[in-house]
Structure formats: C-alpha cells, structure tokens
Amino acid sequence: MKKQMMTMMAALLIGSAGTASAADYSRYSNDELSRMRGTMQNADAQERASYRTEWCKRIASMNPEERRLQAKKNFRQYNRRGPAAMKDALGLSDAQQNRLQKLRDKQFAAAAKERSKLMSLREEMLNESMKKHPDNRKIDMLTQKIGTTHAGLARMRSGHLQDMASILTTDQMEKMKTFMQNKPGKKHGRMML
C-alpha cells in the first residue's frame, strides 16, 4: 500500500511539473520556438495549444520584415533548399519573384493576425469544454467565431491566389499548383501559402 501510494505521488509530481513547464513558452527565443515547430505531435493538447498561442503572439507582434526573415528561416529549416526553390521550380524572372515576395509578405501579415485570433478562440473553447459544467451557449458562440475566422482565412487565401495569378503565366500557375501540392509538410490536401 505504501509503495503504491509513493508511486502515485511520484507520478503526480512528475505530471504536474511537466504541465507547469509546458504552459510557459514565453521564456523561449523566437529561434528556439521556431525550432520546436513540428516537434509537438506527441505533446498533450494543452501543451500544443500553449505553444501555438505563444508562437502566434510572436508572429503577430513582428513587423513585416521580421516576419519575412522568420518565414525565410522556416522555409530553409523544413525544405533545405532556400528561397530559390520556387524560383527554380516555376522559372520566375527576378521581377516576378520580387512581386510575389511582396504579395507573400502582405498575405503573411494579414493571416498572422487571424491565425493568432483563431488560436485564442480554440484555446478558449478548449478551456470552456473541459470545465466540469461547460457553458454550451458560450461554446456555440466560440465555434461560430472559429468558423467565421476560418472562412476569413479562406477568403484571404483565395484573394492571394488571384493576385498571384495576375503575376504568373498560365504555365507557371500550373507548375505552382503542383509545387504547392507536393511541398513537404502538406497536411490533408491543404495548400499552405
């Protein structure tokens, strides 16, 4: 009995220590947080939500140049080919590449704020859902806001693709579709722009 009680207390202490440290990602630098991307699959939902919330806050607080540099680092980290990959794959001119970069910066800045909002709404819904007596009206309201935010992001993506289509030739646009569909890290048929 004593041994069982000691085992339970040790497990409780280890579990609570992990939860306490998992919730605070504010002490990490942007580079450290960036390197953690893609490593959170085995973390519990609370830890993943905490990480996503902090990462979205960081991205939303960056100016366009900082976001561009961070995106460049992330691209290199996951694709290992650098920013020349799309230029090579599509056969872009320097002028096209510059115009597309400006579009991406604009899209990234606008979407970062919406994604941050989405992460906050998801976290709020998680917290409300996990209460002993959740407020279902609040959950309904949060799910509506989450849906509206997703719809807004989809409209942004569509507008971004239309803007890109105005810069690319028809052949380049077809290559872009293939490039985006076969890009590493693609999830569930979703195109990441």
pLDDT digits (tens, 9 = 90+) for 12-23: 545 444 444 455
**Position 13, amino acid:** L
Poorest-confidence range of 43-47, 101-105, 150-154?
Answer: 43-47
Q: Which long-range contacts (CB under 8 A, 24 or more apart) does 66-74 make?
A: 67/105, 67/108, 67/109, 67/112, 68/101, 68/104, 68/105, 68/108, 70/30, 70/34, 71/104, 71/108, 73/31, 73/34, 74/34, 74/37
**Contact status, residue 51 vs residue 61, Cβ threshold 8 Å:** no
Of 20-24, 46-50, 119-123, 184-188, where does the model show the most confidence? 119-123
Alpha-carbon torsion angle 85, 91, 95, 100, nearest 10: -50
- Please, how many CA atoms are within 13 Å of residue 49, restricted to the half-sphere of its CB? 15
Residue 116 has pLDDT above 70, yes or no: yes
State whether residue 106 is helix, strand or coil: helix
Q: pLDDT confidence of 133, banded at 50, 70, 90?
A: very high
- Please, how many CA atoms are within 13 Å of residue 17, restricted to the half-sphere of its CB? 6
Give the global pTM: 0.52
Residue 3 has pLDDT above 70, yes or no: no
Residue 188 has pLDDT above 50, yes or no: no
How far does CA 160 lie from the centroid of its chain? Answer: 17
- Euclidean distance between CA atoms 149 and 133, whole angstroms: 26
- Euclidean distance between CA atoms 150 and 140, whole angstroms: 15
How high is the mean pLDDT of the chain?
77
Residue 90 has pLDDT above 90, yes or no: no
In this prediction, residue 34 carries a pLDDT of: 76
Neighbours of 84 (CB within 10 A): 10
Residue 131 has pLDDT above 90, yes or no: yes
